[in-house]
């Protein structure tokens, strides 16, 4: 969960998000080193009046400042491509959930269970219980088991939406007439918040996403209760 004045990312709740955080730190360190070198060169050029003719006409330096950026780009691109393919990988999901975007709420269908489907609306401010977050809490959470591959099929009924949960490293566009898929593994129990990340109309800011990850035995009890209520 993000908090005021937070500078970094939310704590990772999935293996993919952990990889994204590591890649962010890796790229940020490279940017920091490049910025430091450029700042040093600027300060050195401004503060000294000495001129080295060898540096001004050196072919070796031109080769270095051509090859070095290419090496740096490779060091950034290879980990980035690895994570990109990891994010697209969907192998043997234990559970499939279909998320449907509407103006302005989400619907969830557990396709492995014929009777489990519900709408998820934002809880109005006046109805919030103590400890619940304004504009982020919903009346029905998407419940998933921990440490299990979850496939989410994302689509929309009316306009473009986007199903995004930062702590899980998930963001997928919901397009009317198209079925997109993404996957995640919740590595720990918890409640993870997200929001629609595609401007979808007047109430775009009022269709939050809440994913509750619970151990498998508790998920079985929840699914049994939902089937009995259906």
**Residue where a domain terminates, one of 88, 105, 134:** 88
The closest alpha carbon to 119, from 209, 189, 25, belongs to 209
Based on the domain organization, do 69 and 165 belong to the same domain? no
pLDDT in tens, 46-55: 888 777 666 6
147 lies in the same domain as 174: yes
pLDDT > 90? residue 7 = no
CB-count burial class (<10 Å; 0-12, 13-18, 19+) for 218: middle
Binning pLDDT at 50, 70 and 90, where does residue 99 land? very high
Residue with tokens 């908090």: 3
Tell me what pLDDT residue 63 has. 87
Q: Identify whether residues 75 and 135 lie together within a single domain.
A: no
- The answer as to whether 9 is a domain residue is no
* Residue 108, domain member (yes or no): yes
CATH number at residue 103: 2.60.40.420
Q: What is the mean pLDDT of residues 68-91?
A: 92
Reported as a pLDDT band with limits 50, 70 and 90, residue 85 is: very high
181 and 147 inside one domain? yes
Is the same domain home to 79 and 167? no
Question: What is the pTM assigned to this prediction?
Answer: 0.85
Strand-by-strand arrangement of the 95-102 sheet: 117-120, 105-110, 95-102, 149-156, 180-185
Tell me whether residue 2 is in a domain. Answer: no
Q: How many CB atoms lie within 10 A of CB 9?
A: 15
Which pLDDT does position 56 carry in this prediction? Answer: 65
End residue of a domain, out of 54, 88, 122:
88
Q: Pick from 30, 54, 88: which residue ends a domain?
A: 88
């Amino acid at each position: 969960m993000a908090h005021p004045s937070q500078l970094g990312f939310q704590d990772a709740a999935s293996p993919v998000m952990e990889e994204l955080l590591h890649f962010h730190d890796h790229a940020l360190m490279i940017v920091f080193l490049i910025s430091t070198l450029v700042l040093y060169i600027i300060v050195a050029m401004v503060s000294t009046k000495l001129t080295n003719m060898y540096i001004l006409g050196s072919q070796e330096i031109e080769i270095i400042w051509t090859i070095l950026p290419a090496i740096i780009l490779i060091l950034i691109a290879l980990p980035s491509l690895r994570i990109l393919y990891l994010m697209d990988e969907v192998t043997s999901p234990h559970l499939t959930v279909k998320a449907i975007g509407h103006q302005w709420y989400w619907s969830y269908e557990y396709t492995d269970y014929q009777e489990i489907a519900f709408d998820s609306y934002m809880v109005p401010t006046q109805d919030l219980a103590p400890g619940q977050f304004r504009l982020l809490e919903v009346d029905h959470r998407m419940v998933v088991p921990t440490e299990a591959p979850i496939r989410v099929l994302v689509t929309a009924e009316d306009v473009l939406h986007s199903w995004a949960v930062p702590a899980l490293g998930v963001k997928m566009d919901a397009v009317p007439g198209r079925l997109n898929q993404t996957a995640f593994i919740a590595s720990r129990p918890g409640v993870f918040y997200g929001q629609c990340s595609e401007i979808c109309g007047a109430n775009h800011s009022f269709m939050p996403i809440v994913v509750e990850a619970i151990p498998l035995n508790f998920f079985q009890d929840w699914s049994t209760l939902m089937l009995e209520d259906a």
